[in-house]
Amino acid sequence: MVYVFAGTGQAGSAIVDDVFGHRRVSTPASPLVFNSTIRDLRNLSNIDEESQYGIAERHGLVERGTPGFEEQVTGGFGRNPVEADSVMEDHRGELVETLAAHFDEPDGTPGDIPFAFVCLGLGGGTGCGIAPHVADAIKEYTDGVAQIIGVGVLPNTDGPVAEDDDEQISAGRQAWNTIYGLDRLEESVDGIVLVDNQRLAYENAAEGRFSEYNEYVASGLVDLISGSTLERIDPSEYDEVDPPVVDLQDVVTSLSFDTRGTNSRPGYATIGRSVTMTKSLVGYLVPFVGDREVDSSALSRLAASKQTLSGVSPSEAQKAIGLIRAPVEHISNEGKRIETSTIRRFLESQCSEVNLGVALTRRNLASFTSLFTYERDQIDRIAEIEDQADQYEAQNPI
């Protein structure tokens, strides 16, 4: 069994790269990245070249180690997802062959891929154009078994232009690309997690914060997907520890609507994470001293305030899922125990359908990661982008 993380385009590949920068990421996870510029592939630090692929108009899917790779993958689709979509449509079969090359068993039977994440930036060309094809190829390779979560990065559309090397890309064009990408992605995935770059729009030196933002998102994904297997700690080894568990199926269920019927549709979620130390500096230096109590209420409320989407309120969410991660003594010790009931009550005060799990860590940190899921028409940020896209199309027929 393997979980696939597929990065498409610059932003999607960067998130996957940060996921695999975590030493704690569970071993069954496997990356694949697809990009149309060699420069972006060179910027990856944590993904081996054998898992990197270029997308070229003339050559289709090109494995990174192919002789003449740099001459074939010469650079980008000019922020045009329609062109990227057309190229990938012509080379769709190569995606399935790529999955087979990576994941087939020695006897040739398809690999077991129960879940996959497809990450993309929604304002550009490559990710918006090819991500649905990657998701569909995973579905085809697994004969429809794999459940797929899209992780989409909304562009900052609050401004006249965005810089892309020597090009000036209008906010309207980015908005149009976003809606084009979302509309198609909805048809191919089971749920969508949104990351909004506009959350950084008003910060000083915001460009320098994107790397930190990607790491924040990657940390939340790593926590949620790996559950109790993250550090391979068996709760049964400890007396009086029997924590509730959430797994990836629970995450997918929290991201989808009408999951029992034939009209299942993806929800749109925002991710939030809060972290606190469980030892003071003295506690790191001297054993058995310096333990800190954890404020359960503050932990849950801070995660809710740090959601990755502008203009939504957890109180309007349809579903919520959360994972508490803490050292064993903060789960079992009466004097230091995190009050899971307090965190559950907070989630239930926001929405009626709630799932909460607890996992153990050997680190002196306690964290709480949450997903709040909404219907698309509840999200004002998407409505705002749709208006900008309509205005752009009216002035620039596509």
pLDDT of residue 71: 83
The residues pairing with 111 across neighbouring beta strands, listed in sequence order, are none
* pLDDT of res. 205: 40
Superfamily of domain 227-257+268-374: Tubulin/FtsZ, C-terminal domain (3.30.1330.20)
**What is the C-alpha to C-alpha distance for residues 362 and 327, in angstroms, rounded to an integer?**
6
Q: What is the reported pLDDT for 43? A: 92
Report how far apart, in Å, the C-alpha atoms of 17 and of each of 6, 214, 265, 389 are: 10, 9, 28, 30
pLDDT at position 229 is 54
Evaluate whether 359 touches 246 at the Cβ level (below 8 Å).
Answer: no
C-alpha span between 184 and 129 (Å, rounded): 9
Please tell me the predicted confidence (pLDDT) of residue 204. 43
Other C-beta atoms lying within 10 Å of the C-beta of residue 99: 24
Question: Residue 142: its pLDDT value, please?
Answer: 96
pLDDT (0 to 100) of residue 192:
98
Mean pLDDT by 10 residues, the chain (398 residues): 93 94 74 92 93 88 88 81 93 93 92 95 94 97 96 83 52 95 96 89 51 87 70 62 83 86 85 87 52 87 91 93 87 78 95 91 87 96 95 87
- pLDDT digit string, tens, across residues 206-236: 455 667 888 899 989 888 876 545 556 666 6
Say if CB 4 and CB 138 are below 8 A apart. yes
3-state secondary structure of 271: strand
Three state DSSP letters for 175-218 = HHHHHHHHHHHHCCCCEEEEEEHHHHCCCCCHHHHHHHHHHHHH
Span(s) in the chain for CATH 3.40.50.1440:
3-202
SS3 at position 355 = strand
Strand partners, 147: 115
pTM: 0.90
Kindly state which CATH superfamily the domain 3-202 is placed in: Tubulin/FtsZ, GTPase domain (3.40.50.1440)
In degrees and rounded to multiples of 5, residue 200 shows phi and psi of -100, 0
CATH 3.30.1330.20 residue window(s) in the chain:
227-257+268-374
124 vs 77: CA distance, rounded Å: 9
Ordered DSSP codes for 91-127: THHHHHHHHHHHH--TTSPPP---EEEEEEESSSSHH
Cα 86 from Cα 92, distance rounded (Å): 10
**C-alpha atoms less than 13 angstroms from C-alpha of 1 in its C-beta half-sphere:** 6
